[in-house]
Structure 1
Amino acid sequence: MTASPIKLSTAEDYLFYENRADYRSEFFQGEKFRMIVNDVNHNCVKQNLSGIIGAILKDRKYFQSYSGNQRIHIFENTFYGYPDLLIVCGPNQYAEKDKNSIINPTVLIEVLSEGTGSYDRGDKFRFYRDIDSLREYVLVNSINVGVEIFRRTEDNHWLLAEYAYQLSDSITIQSIEATLQLSDLYEGTDNVKEGWGSPKE
């Protein structure tokens, strides 16, 4: 998000301009926030994730992954936004006011960078927790090697359930029964060191 939001009166206004814009913005409670341009390592990790998870889900009926420009909507808090990667386990469901916005992701994945780390771990995670279908939230650090997975418990709490900080480590996304090797996620990145580090706002 940008530091200076653009005031809009309604979600309808946002959708009207968003569907005609040549850049992507997110929307929350009457304000539109233009998304920042990501760096090379962020894009590399995101591309690796998309390819690996896409291959895993290729032959699974009703399992689908989307990256980049796929918008989601959270009716409970008005949020429209773009996760780095989302996974739907089951048929897609769409927002009533926008048939291009998915409302039932099972897994959301964000790749953290200097400009997005605090937002993805903070406000955006709070927005995401209002999604009834969401079971896992995965954070992948593009500055230093590190993956953290938060899972929803049966009593509707979120716990840091799994983490890994070395290229030799692996992590498992339980919702799709997929184990990912960190060395594969970071293949092709430049000067990414082992150890989580702290992506800055």
Structure 2
Amino acid sequence: MRHDPAYRKITADEFLEMDFGTDRRFELEDGVIVMMAGGTEPHAWVQGNVFAWLRQHLRGSGCRPYGPDMAVRVSETEVRYPDVSIYCDQPPRDDLTDAKTLANPTVIVEVLSPSTATLDQGTKLEEYKRLPSVRTIAFVDPVNEMCRTVERMSQGWLDHMFSGTRGIEIPTLAIVIPHEDIFARD
């Protein structure tokens, strides 16, 4: 579809108003609707572990974690659904009942899959870096049980490449999600 001259690229606003009426998931990439790959059990489990830890530890902090149903508008022609995103200083939840995306994510977490690792750590990483509010981008590899954190610094981005047991460091929020909690199997 992308190369078909009859296909009109759409905007993020148009995409967010669409009801796909299916259990399949889609993102908007350069104005083109693309289907997201289905997840695996290890992917879903690790995403759940990260989200649950954040929900418990951010309660009352003014920051809220969201799962993969909350969109991140990365441009006027791109919409992504990260596995976990954290938003700080948002309006009260009662004011957000119809929100499909929120402004100014602070943290983005992507759980890697063999089929999406290159896209996540390439295209999506660069898109997330362009968002001025984003301070930390983390990648979690459930197969090798390793985490990578990319942190915005005053002079640019610092990439903490994959490490065995460090977990996910989020300096902006003064938290570290422990490795053993990310990959807990129970």
Q: Same fold (TM over 0.5)?
A: yes
Q: Aligned partners of 2:39, 2:21: CA distance in 1, in Å?
A: 18
The residue number in structure 1 matching 2:88 is 89
Alignment of 1:149-188 (within 5 A): 149-155=149-155, 157-161=156-160, 163-166=162-165, 169-188=166-185
Instruction: Tell whether the 8 Å contact from 2:146 to 2:167 is kept in structure 1 after alignment.
Output: no
* Offset, 1:158: 1.5
* Offset, 1:34: 0.6
The residue number in structure 1 matching 2:94 is none
Alignment of 1:1-201 (within 5 A): 7-11=7-11, 12-17=13-18, 19-22=19-22, 23-60=24-61, 62-75=62-75, 78-91=77-90, 99-155=99-155, 157-161=156-160, 163-166=162-165, 169-188=166-185
The residue type paired with residue 176 of structure 2 is T
The residue number in structure 2 matching 1:193 is none
Instruction: Tell whether the 8 Å contact from 1:8 to 1:32 is kept in structure 2 after alignment.
Output: no
Judge which range, 170-179 or 112-121, deviates more: 170-179
* Offset, 1:163: 4.6
Runs of 4+ in structure 1 off by over 3 angstroms are: 4-8
Q: Aligned partners of 2:63, 2:183: CA distance in 1, in Å?
A: 24
Give the SS at the match of 1:14: helix
Q: Aligned partners of 1:81, 1:27: CA distance in 2, in Å?
A: 7
Kindly report the root-mean-square deviation, in angstroms, between the aligned alpha carbons of the 2 structures: 2.2
> Are the structure 2 counterparts of residues 16 and 162 from structure 1 closer, same or farther at C-alpha, using a change threshold of 3 Å?
same
Instruction: Tell whether the 8 Å contact from 1:141 to 1:147 is kept in structure 2 after alignment.
Output: yes
Which digits, 9 at most, give the CA deviation of each residue in 1:85-112, with x for residues without a partner?
00112225xxxxx942123000000000
The residue number in structure 2 matching 1:95 is none
Give the SS at the match of 1:27: strand
The residue number in structure 2 matching 1:195 is none
Instruction: Tell whether the 8 Å contact from 1:8 to 1:14 is kept in structure 2 after alignment.
Output: no
TM-score (norm 1): 0.78
* Offset, 1:79: 1.3
Instruction: Tell whether the 8 Å contact from 2:50 to 2:177 is kept in structure 1 after alignment.
Output: no
Q: Aligned partners of 2:160, 2:117: CA distance in 1, in Å?
A: 19
The residue type paired with residue 79 of structure 2 is Y
The residue number in structure 1 matching 2:95 is none
Q: Aligned partners of 1:5, 1:69: CA distance in 2, in Å?
A: 25
The residue type paired with residue 84 of structure 1 is D
* Offset, 1:162: 6.4
> Are the structure 2 counterparts of residues 163 and 144 from structure 1 closer, same or farther at C-alpha, using a change threshold of 3 Å?
closer
Give the SS at the match of 2:101: strand
- Aligned length, in residue pairs: 175
Give the SS at the match of 2:87: strand
* Offset, 1:40: 0.6
> Are the structure 2 counterparts of residues 20 and 173 from structure 1 closer, same or farther at C-alpha, using a change threshold of 3 Å?
same
Q: Aligned partners of 1:13, 1:172: CA distance in 2, in Å?
A: 35
TM-score (norm 2): 0.84
